[in-house]
A = this chain, B = another copy of it.
Amino acid sequence: MNVRGRAMRTIWPAADGRTVEIIDQTRLPHELAIVELETLDDAARAIATMQVRGAPLIGAAAAYGMALAAAEDPSDNAIETAMSKLAATRPTAVNLRWALTEMRRALSEVPESRRFAAATVRAGEIADADVAINHAIGEHGAGLIIEAWRCKGRAGRVEVLTHCNAGWLATVDWGTALAPVYRAHNEGIPIHVWVDETRPRNQGASLTAWELGEHGVPHTVIVDNAGGHLMREGLVDLCIVGTDRTTAGGDVANKIGTYLKALAARDNDIPFYVALPSPTIDWEIESSAAIPIERRDAGEVTHIEGWTEEGRRVTVRLTPAHSPAANYAFDVTPARLVSALITERGICPASSEGLLELFPERRRRVVRE
Protein backbone atom coordinates (compact mmCIF):
# COMPACT_ATOMS: atom_id res chain seq x y z
CA MET A 1 0.00 0.00 0.00
CA ASN A 2 1.06 3.63 -0.29
CA VAL A 3 3.38 5.52 2.03
CA ARG A 4 3.88 9.18 1.18
CA GLY A 5 2.35 8.44 -2.20
CA ARG A 6 4.68 5.55 -3.06
CA ALA A 7 3.76 1.83 -2.98
CA MET A 8 5.58 -0.10 -0.27
CA ARG A 9 5.66 -3.55 1.27
CA THR A 10 6.66 -4.31 4.85
CA ILE A 11 9.69 -6.34 3.74
CA TRP A 12 11.65 -6.44 0.47
CA PRO A 13 15.03 -7.45 -0.96
CA ALA A 14 17.40 -4.48 -1.20
CA ALA A 15 19.03 -3.33 -4.43
CA ASP A 16 22.32 -5.07 -3.56
CA GLY A 17 20.68 -8.47 -4.11
CA ARG A 18 21.62 -9.71 -0.65
CA THR A 19 20.41 -7.38 2.12
CA VAL A 20 16.74 -7.33 3.12
CA GLU A 21 14.94 -4.14 4.17
CA ILE A 22 11.99 -3.70 6.53
CA ILE A 23 9.89 -0.93 8.01
CA ASP A 24 10.76 -0.72 11.73
CA GLN A 25 7.23 -0.92 13.16
CA THR A 26 8.34 -0.04 16.69
CA ARG A 27 9.04 3.52 15.45
CA LEU A 28 5.57 4.00 13.93
CA PRO A 29 3.47 6.08 13.83
CA HIS A 30 5.88 8.88 14.65
CA GLU A 31 8.80 7.94 12.43
CA LEU A 32 9.19 5.95 9.19
CA ALA A 33 12.49 4.13 9.75
CA ILE A 34 13.80 1.61 7.21
CA VAL A 35 16.09 -1.00 8.75
CA GLU A 36 18.58 -3.11 6.78
CA LEU A 37 18.85 -6.77 7.74
CA GLU A 38 22.33 -7.94 6.74
CA THR A 39 22.72 -11.08 8.84
CA LEU A 40 20.75 -13.92 10.38
CA ASP A 41 21.12 -12.19 13.74
CA ASP A 42 19.61 -9.01 12.33
CA ALA A 43 16.57 -10.95 11.13
CA ALA A 44 16.14 -12.80 14.44
CA ARG A 45 16.39 -9.53 16.36
CA ALA A 46 13.85 -7.81 14.08
CA ILE A 47 11.29 -10.54 14.79
CA ALA A 48 12.02 -10.83 18.52
CA THR A 49 11.84 -7.07 19.13
CA MET A 50 8.70 -6.77 17.01
CA GLN A 51 10.21 -4.47 14.41
CA VAL A 52 8.21 -6.83 12.23
CA ARG A 53 5.05 -8.41 13.68
CA GLY A 54 1.81 -10.00 12.47
CA ALA A 55 1.74 -13.72 11.72
CA PRO A 56 2.07 -13.54 7.89
CA LEU A 57 4.87 -10.97 8.05
CA ILE A 58 6.74 -12.97 10.71
CA GLY A 59 6.67 -15.96 8.34
CA ALA A 60 8.09 -13.92 5.46
CA ALA A 61 10.75 -12.34 7.68
CA ALA A 62 11.84 -15.77 8.92
CA ALA A 63 12.09 -16.99 5.32
CA TYR A 64 14.32 -14.06 4.39
CA GLY A 65 16.29 -14.70 7.60
CA MET A 66 17.06 -18.21 6.35
CA ALA A 67 18.32 -16.70 3.08
CA LEU A 68 20.61 -14.37 5.04
CA ALA A 69 21.84 -17.39 7.01
CA ALA A 70 22.58 -19.29 3.77
CA ALA A 71 24.60 -16.31 2.52
CA GLU A 72 26.72 -16.41 5.67
CA ASP A 73 27.20 -20.18 5.82
CA PRO A 74 25.25 -22.60 3.59
CA SER A 75 26.34 -25.77 5.45
CA ASP A 76 23.71 -28.17 6.83
CA ASN A 77 24.84 -27.44 10.36
CA ALA A 78 24.55 -23.70 9.93
CA ILE A 79 21.08 -24.02 8.38
CA GLU A 80 19.88 -26.08 11.37
CA THR A 81 21.32 -23.53 13.80
CA ALA A 82 19.65 -20.69 11.91
CA MET A 83 16.33 -22.52 11.98
CA SER A 84 16.51 -23.00 15.76
CA LYS A 85 17.48 -19.40 16.33
CA LEU A 86 14.62 -18.03 14.22
CA ALA A 87 12.09 -20.49 15.68
CA ALA A 88 12.90 -19.23 19.19
CA THR A 89 12.09 -15.60 18.42
CA ARG A 90 8.29 -15.83 18.79
CA PRO A 91 7.50 -19.26 20.20
CA THR A 92 3.77 -19.32 19.42
CA ALA A 93 3.62 -18.04 15.84
CA VAL A 94 2.28 -20.76 13.53
CA ASN A 95 3.41 -19.10 10.29
CA LEU A 96 6.97 -18.84 11.61
CA ARG A 97 7.32 -22.58 12.01
CA TRP A 98 5.67 -23.27 8.66
CA ALA A 99 7.98 -20.85 6.81
CA LEU A 100 11.10 -22.30 8.45
CA THR A 101 10.18 -25.88 7.58
CA GLU A 102 9.45 -24.83 4.03
CA MET A 103 12.81 -23.05 3.74
CA ARG A 104 14.69 -26.04 5.10
CA ARG A 105 13.02 -28.24 2.52
CA ALA A 106 13.95 -25.86 -0.31
CA LEU A 107 17.56 -25.62 0.90
CA SER A 108 18.01 -29.34 1.39
CA GLU A 109 17.24 -29.95 -2.28
CA VAL A 110 20.21 -28.00 -3.66
CA PRO A 111 23.99 -28.13 -3.15
CA GLU A 112 25.58 -25.64 -0.79
CA SER A 113 26.88 -23.46 -3.60
CA ARG A 114 23.36 -22.74 -4.81
CA ARG A 115 21.62 -22.48 -1.45
CA PHE A 116 21.67 -18.70 -1.08
CA ALA A 117 20.16 -18.24 -4.53
CA ALA A 118 17.52 -20.92 -3.92
CA ALA A 119 16.67 -19.46 -0.52
CA THR A 120 16.25 -15.98 -1.93
CA VAL A 121 13.89 -17.27 -4.61
CA ARG A 122 11.81 -19.31 -2.14
CA ALA A 123 11.60 -16.45 0.39
CA GLY A 124 10.34 -14.19 -2.36
CA GLU A 125 7.74 -16.80 -3.33
CA ILE A 126 6.56 -17.05 0.30
CA ALA A 127 6.20 -13.25 0.47
CA ASP A 128 4.38 -13.16 -2.88
CA ALA A 129 2.04 -15.97 -1.82
CA ASP A 130 1.00 -13.93 1.21
CA VAL A 131 0.29 -10.94 -1.00
CA ALA A 132 -1.79 -13.12 -3.34
CA ILE A 133 -3.88 -14.53 -0.48
CA ASN A 134 -4.55 -11.07 0.95
CA HIS A 135 -5.34 -9.66 -2.48
CA ALA A 136 -7.99 -12.37 -2.90
CA ILE A 137 -9.43 -11.64 0.57
CA GLY A 138 -9.62 -8.00 -0.48
CA GLU A 139 -11.49 -8.86 -3.66
CA HIS A 140 -14.09 -10.99 -1.87
CA GLY A 141 -14.48 -8.60 1.07
CA ALA A 142 -14.76 -5.50 -1.11
CA GLY A 143 -17.95 -7.02 -2.49
CA LEU A 144 -19.49 -6.78 0.99
CA ILE A 145 -18.49 -3.12 1.27
CA ILE A 146 -19.86 -2.34 -2.18
CA GLU A 147 -23.09 -4.12 -1.24
CA ALA A 148 -23.33 -2.03 1.95
CA TRP A 149 -22.91 1.09 -0.16
CA ARG A 150 -25.70 -0.04 -2.48
CA CYS A 151 -27.93 -0.58 0.58
CA LYS A 152 -27.28 3.02 1.61
CA GLY A 153 -28.48 4.15 -1.82
CA ARG A 154 -24.88 5.07 -2.75
CA ALA A 155 -25.21 8.10 -0.45
CA GLY A 156 -22.69 9.22 2.10
CA ARG A 157 -19.94 6.74 2.83
CA VAL A 158 -19.62 3.21 4.12
CA GLU A 159 -18.73 3.26 7.83
CA VAL A 160 -16.45 0.39 8.83
CA LEU A 161 -15.26 -0.39 12.37
CA THR A 162 -12.08 -2.40 12.90
CA HIS A 163 -10.12 -3.59 15.93
CA CYS A 164 -6.35 -3.95 16.33
CA ASN A 165 -4.12 -4.03 13.24
CA ALA A 166 -4.97 -6.56 10.58
CA GLY A 167 -3.71 -4.25 7.87
CA TRP A 168 -0.81 -4.45 5.43
CA LEU A 169 1.67 -3.84 8.25
CA ALA A 170 0.72 -7.24 9.71
CA THR A 171 1.36 -8.94 6.37
CA VAL A 172 3.64 -8.40 3.40
CA ASP A 173 1.02 -6.24 1.68
CA TRP A 174 -2.76 -5.55 1.60
CA GLY A 175 -3.49 -6.97 5.07
CA THR A 176 -6.39 -9.24 5.94
CA ALA A 177 -9.23 -7.23 7.56
CA LEU A 178 -8.11 -4.06 5.79
CA ALA A 179 -7.60 -5.64 2.35
CA PRO A 180 -11.32 -5.20 1.51
CA VAL A 181 -11.14 -1.61 2.76
CA TYR A 182 -8.16 -0.78 0.51
CA ARG A 183 -9.73 -2.53 -2.43
CA ALA A 184 -13.04 -0.67 -2.05
CA HIS A 185 -11.23 2.63 -1.49
CA ASN A 186 -9.07 2.09 -4.57
CA GLU A 187 -12.24 1.42 -6.59
CA GLY A 188 -13.64 4.78 -5.53
CA ILE A 189 -16.19 3.64 -2.94
CA PRO A 190 -16.45 6.38 -0.30
CA ILE A 191 -15.39 4.71 2.93
CA HIS A 192 -14.50 5.77 6.47
CA VAL A 193 -12.93 3.55 9.13
CA TRP A 194 -13.47 3.81 12.90
CA VAL A 195 -10.15 2.64 14.33
CA ASP A 196 -10.26 1.08 17.83
CA GLU A 197 -7.06 2.16 19.58
CA THR A 198 -6.78 -1.44 20.89
CA ARG A 199 -5.35 -1.31 24.38
CA PRO A 200 -3.03 -2.36 25.77
CA ARG A 201 -0.54 -2.33 22.90
CA ASN A 202 -2.46 0.27 20.88
CA GLN A 203 -1.88 -1.33 17.50
CA GLY A 204 -4.99 0.43 16.20
CA ALA A 205 -3.93 3.91 17.29
CA SER A 206 -0.36 3.49 16.17
CA LEU A 207 -0.37 1.13 13.17
CA THR A 208 -3.87 0.96 11.66
CA ALA A 209 -4.34 4.73 11.85
CA TRP A 210 -0.91 5.29 10.32
CA GLU A 211 -1.34 2.93 7.39
CA LEU A 212 -4.86 4.14 6.57
CA GLY A 213 -3.65 7.74 6.74
CA GLU A 214 -0.67 7.10 4.48
CA HIS A 215 -2.87 5.39 1.88
CA GLY A 216 -5.39 8.23 2.07
CA VAL A 217 -8.30 6.28 3.58
CA PRO A 218 -10.49 8.54 5.77
CA HIS A 219 -10.49 7.27 9.37
CA THR A 220 -11.01 8.33 12.98
CA VAL A 221 -9.31 6.89 16.05
CA ILE A 222 -11.60 6.03 18.96
CA VAL A 223 -11.08 4.40 22.34
CA ASP A 224 -12.10 0.76 22.55
CA ASN A 225 -15.02 1.79 24.77
CA ALA A 226 -16.68 3.85 22.02
CA GLY A 227 -17.74 1.24 19.43
CA GLY A 228 -20.95 0.20 21.19
CA HIS A 229 -22.19 3.77 21.31
CA LEU A 230 -21.35 4.32 17.64
CA MET A 231 -23.31 1.22 16.68
CA ARG A 232 -26.33 2.28 18.76
CA GLU A 233 -26.22 5.65 17.03
CA GLY A 234 -26.24 4.09 13.54
CA LEU A 235 -22.71 5.28 12.77
CA VAL A 236 -21.33 1.85 11.79
CA ASP A 237 -22.43 -0.09 8.69
CA LEU A 238 -20.21 -3.12 9.18
CA CYS A 239 -17.33 -4.45 11.27
CA ILE A 240 -14.29 -6.27 9.85
CA VAL A 241 -11.58 -7.74 12.06
CA GLY A 242 -8.74 -10.19 11.58
CA THR A 243 -8.02 -13.33 13.58
CA ASP A 244 -5.08 -15.16 15.08
CA ARG A 245 -6.76 -18.53 14.99
CA THR A 246 -10.16 -19.73 13.76
CA THR A 247 -11.48 -23.13 14.84
CA ALA A 248 -12.92 -25.66 12.40
CA GLY A 249 -16.31 -24.71 13.89
CA GLY A 250 -15.92 -20.99 13.12
CA ASP A 251 -15.05 -19.64 16.58
CA VAL A 252 -12.59 -16.78 16.27
CA ALA A 253 -9.66 -16.02 18.57
CA ASN A 254 -8.51 -12.45 18.02
CA LYS A 255 -7.12 -9.48 19.93
CA ILE A 256 -8.70 -8.93 23.33
CA GLY A 257 -11.90 -6.87 23.00
CA THR A 258 -13.05 -8.34 19.69
CA TYR A 259 -15.83 -10.28 21.45
CA LEU A 260 -17.30 -7.07 22.94
CA LYS A 261 -17.60 -5.49 19.49
CA ALA A 262 -19.22 -8.64 18.09
CA LEU A 263 -21.81 -8.48 20.89
CA ALA A 264 -22.56 -4.84 20.10
CA ALA A 265 -22.84 -5.58 16.38
CA ARG A 266 -25.33 -8.39 17.08
CA ASP A 267 -27.34 -6.16 19.45
CA ASN A 268 -27.66 -3.56 16.70
CA ASP A 269 -28.10 -5.85 13.66
CA ILE A 270 -24.78 -4.81 12.14
CA PRO A 271 -22.79 -7.39 10.12
CA PHE A 272 -19.62 -8.59 11.87
CA TYR A 273 -17.08 -10.06 9.44
CA VAL A 274 -13.81 -11.83 10.13
CA ALA A 275 -11.14 -11.86 7.40
CA LEU A 276 -8.71 -14.74 7.49
CA PRO A 277 -6.07 -16.36 5.35
CA SER A 278 -6.75 -20.10 5.43
CA PRO A 279 -3.43 -20.95 7.17
CA THR A 280 -4.92 -19.43 10.36
CA ILE A 281 -7.73 -22.01 10.42
CA ASP A 282 -7.03 -24.62 13.08
CA TRP A 283 -8.71 -27.70 11.58
CA GLU A 284 -7.81 -29.78 14.63
CA ILE A 285 -10.00 -27.77 17.03
CA GLU A 286 -13.78 -27.65 16.70
CA SER A 287 -14.58 -25.59 19.81
CA SER A 288 -12.91 -22.50 21.17
CA ALA A 289 -12.64 -23.95 24.67
CA ALA A 290 -9.44 -25.66 23.52
CA ILE A 291 -7.73 -22.41 22.50
CA PRO A 292 -5.17 -21.29 25.10
CA ILE A 293 -5.32 -17.54 25.77
CA GLU A 294 -1.90 -15.93 26.16
CA ARG A 295 -1.37 -13.78 29.25
CA ARG A 296 1.29 -11.17 28.67
CA ASP A 297 3.35 -8.92 30.91
CA ALA A 298 1.25 -6.69 33.18
CA GLY A 299 3.63 -3.86 32.34
CA GLU A 300 1.79 -3.44 29.04
CA VAL A 301 -1.28 -2.39 31.09
CA THR A 302 0.42 -0.39 33.85
CA HIS A 303 2.71 1.56 31.51
CA ILE A 304 2.34 3.07 28.05
CA GLU A 305 4.78 4.43 25.52
CA GLY A 306 4.22 7.60 23.55
CA TRP A 307 5.98 10.57 22.04
CA THR A 308 6.53 13.93 23.70
CA GLU A 309 6.06 17.20 21.83
CA GLU A 310 9.86 17.27 21.42
CA GLY A 311 9.77 13.90 19.63
CA ARG A 312 11.20 11.80 22.46
CA ARG A 313 9.83 8.28 22.96
CA VAL A 314 8.86 8.02 26.64
CA THR A 315 7.28 5.32 28.78
CA VAL A 316 4.95 6.51 31.52
CA ARG A 317 3.13 4.74 34.35
CA LEU A 318 -0.69 4.89 34.37
CA THR A 319 -1.62 2.95 37.50
CA PRO A 320 -0.85 3.18 41.23
CA ALA A 321 2.52 1.65 42.08
CA HIS A 322 0.99 -1.09 44.23
CA SER A 323 -2.04 -2.03 42.09
CA PRO A 324 -1.67 -5.36 40.27
CA ALA A 325 -2.74 -5.61 36.63
CA ALA A 326 -3.69 -8.52 34.38
CA ASN A 327 -3.03 -8.69 30.65
CA TYR A 328 -5.08 -11.15 28.61
CA ALA A 329 -3.95 -10.83 24.99
CA PHE A 330 -6.83 -12.48 23.12
CA ASP A 331 -10.46 -13.39 23.48
CA VAL A 332 -12.75 -15.75 21.61
CA THR A 333 -15.75 -14.61 19.62
CA PRO A 334 -18.17 -17.53 19.29
CA ALA A 335 -19.22 -18.41 15.75
CA ARG A 336 -22.86 -17.48 16.53
CA LEU A 337 -21.78 -13.80 16.64
CA VAL A 338 -19.85 -13.86 13.35
CA SER A 339 -21.90 -12.92 10.27
CA ALA A 340 -19.44 -14.48 7.83
CA LEU A 341 -15.82 -15.43 7.30
CA ILE A 342 -13.90 -13.80 4.43
CA THR A 343 -11.18 -16.13 3.08
CA GLU A 344 -9.00 -16.13 -0.02
CA ARG A 345 -11.42 -18.65 -1.54
CA GLY A 346 -14.53 -16.62 -0.86
CA ILE A 347 -17.05 -15.86 1.85
CA CYS A 348 -18.73 -18.48 4.02
CA PRO A 349 -20.82 -18.84 7.17
CA ALA A 350 -18.84 -19.18 10.41
CA SER A 351 -19.53 -22.89 10.84
CA SER A 352 -17.99 -26.29 10.09
CA GLU A 353 -20.33 -26.65 7.13
CA GLY A 354 -19.47 -23.18 5.82
CA LEU A 355 -15.73 -23.73 6.04
CA LEU A 356 -15.90 -27.21 4.52
CA GLU A 357 -17.83 -25.86 1.53
CA LEU A 358 -14.86 -23.63 0.73
CA PHE A 359 -12.21 -26.16 1.74
CA PRO A 360 -13.68 -29.50 0.63
CA GLU A 361 -10.25 -31.18 0.79
CA ARG A 362 -10.55 -30.89 4.58
CA ARG A 363 -13.87 -32.69 4.46
CA ARG A 364 -12.31 -35.66 2.68
CA ARG A 365 -9.50 -35.73 5.20
CA VAL A 366 -11.86 -35.68 8.13
CA VAL A 367 -13.85 -38.56 6.62
CA ARG A 368 -10.74 -40.65 6.05
CA GLU A 369 -9.43 -40.32 9.61
In the complex, the answer to whether B213 meets A320 with C-beta atoms within 8 Å is yes
B305 touches A316 (CB 8 A): yes
List, in ascending order, chain B residues with CB within 8 A of A230's CB: 328
Q: Which of B257, B263, B267, B314 contacts A226 (CB 8 A)?
A: B257
Q: Is A48 positioned at the interface, with any CB of B under 8 Å from its CB?
A: no
Known interface pairs A224-B225, A316-B307, A325-B222. Does A332 touch B232 (Cβ–Cβ under 8 Å)? Answer: yes
Residues of A170-211 contacting chain B, CB below 8 A: 195, 197-200, 202, 205-206, 209-210
**When A259-B264, A304-B304, A304-B306 are in contact, do A199 and B228 touch as well, CB less than 8 Å?**
no
Q: Which residues of chain A from 274 to 319 have any CB-CB distance to chain B below 8 Å in the complex?
A: 293, 301-309, 314-319
| Interface SS, A side | mixed
Q: Does A229 contact B (CB under 8 A)?
A: yes
Which residue of chain B is the closest to A288 with respect to CB atoms? B232
Asked if A331 is at the interface (CB within 8 A of a chain B CB), the reply is: yes
Contacts of A307 in B (CB 8 A): 316-317
Question: Quick check: A326 and B260 within 8 Å, CB to CB?
Answer: no
Contact of A259 among B198, B232, B324, B328 (CB under 8 A): B232
- Knowing A223-B224, A229-B328, A328-B229 touch, does A306 contact B317 (C-beta < 8 A)? yes
Tell me the chain A residues, 211-252 only, with Cβ under 8 Å from chain B: 212-213, 219-230, 232
Contact A302 B221 (CB under 8 A): yes
User: Do A29 and B229 touch across chains, with their CB atoms under 8 A apart?
Assistant: no
Contact B306 A220 (CB under 8 A): no
Task: Report the copy number of this chain in the oligomer.
Answer: 2
Report how many residues on chain A are interfacial, defined by Cβ distance under 8 Å.
Answer: 64
Instruction: List B contacts of A255 (CB < 8 A).
Output: 225
Instruction: State whether B306 touches A316 (Cβ < 8 A).
Output: yes
CB-CB under 8 A from A30, the residues of chain B are 317, 320-321
Question: Does any Cβ of B come within 8 Å of A322's Cβ?
Answer: yes
B319 touches A226 (CB 8 A): no
Q: Which of chain B's residues have a CB closer than 8 A to the CB of A325?
A: 220-222
User: A228 to B324, Cβ gap below 8 A?
Assistant: no
Q: Which of B213, B261, B323 is the one whose CB lies under 8 Å from A323?
A: B213
A79-94 interface code vs B (CB 8 A; 1 in, 0 out): 0000000000000000
| 23 contacting pairs across A/B (C-beta < 8 A) | A30-B317, A195-B323, A197-B301, A199-B224, A209-B320, A210-B323, A212-B323, A220-B325, A221-B325, A221-B326, A222-B325, A224-B257, A225-B257, A225-B260, A228-B259, A229-B256, A229-B330, A230-B328, A232-B331, A259-B264, A260-B264, A306-B317, A308-B314
10 extra interface residue pairs, beta carbon distance < 8 Å, beyond A210-B323, A226-B256? A199-B199, A206-B319, A223-B301, A225-B255, A226-B326, A228-B331, A229-B259, A260-B261, A303-B306, A308-B315
